Chains A and B, each alone.
Chain A
Amino acid sequence: MELLLDDLDTRGALREAAEKAGISRAVFLGGTIASVVAALSAPAAAEAVSRNDIAVLNFALVLEYLQSSFYTEADRSAALHGKAAAAARRVGAVERAHVKAFEALLGRQAIKRPAFNFAGTTESDRPFLKTAVAFEDLAVAAYKGQAPRLRSKQVLASALAIHSVEARHAAWMRYLFHVQPAVSAFDDAASKPKIERVVAGTHFIVARPRMEARRRPRLTG
């Protein structure tokens, strides 16, 4: 199952922009992140980042949202202990900083933060560490897969500078989870479709529930 836009476009912002850019609804509904974001016309901020790079940046931003929301929720839940709790606090701070940087560069072009149901993995030490290992390894593979596709050397420099930090995080979480921090001499890249499949398979990304109803109140009055 591809990471479909509807799962992510929680406030309709991307849909609105797509309609403004004249992209057919069919493309949108079946579309992946890249295909629609790439089709949006307006450049991002002061330095015109190419459409291609905007799409890559938004893809990375989804993963940064995933990680920052995960660690932030774990930190807030106050349900972790010892080094796991400390890791949630420190790594969460870093991932939140990453998110701020992406949002600042992408401006209105930034994809909206999805809602995440982490199904208890932020509330118990072992599931937390296991999931953190998966997320960090995933981020490393994703950045590695996307870096060669970037047009701008400046964006590439940023991607590399973050990619190696995610690898440090991966080793950090693996160590806490008592598995080998560096298994192979060469880490593998993962393609965007592969990453999207993995993320979709977690079912962590959910639609925001509708908490509003057009109904006459049956309250006590």
Chain B
Amino acid sequence: MMVVALAGCGAGSDVSRTLGAICETSADCDGRCLPPSTDYPAGFCTVVCNASSECPDAATCVDDEGGACLFDCVDDASCAFLGTGWRCKERDVRGVAGGKAMVCHGD
């Protein structure tokens, strides 16, 4: 029971002004806001990056938007905490030639 409860609050509780908060402008975030769109439903606070080492834990720097940190995932269910319209998708890892990673992204 406790394990289930802890697992349930894992990724969702990592949402912050730095990564994952809902936003409309960058004033809503510590870094950059990816405004609401089909790619980023409800908006997404992110960190501008050139390498995954610049991202918070559980996030990878992908080539989208000129370099942005997005949450790692293994399947669509692991992106459910971001709300409707988010899926687990394969994206190009920034700074790693040919590198791919599964991250949460809009439909």
A binds B: no
B interface vs A, CB < 8 Å?
Answer: none
A interface vs B, CB < 8 Å?
Answer: none
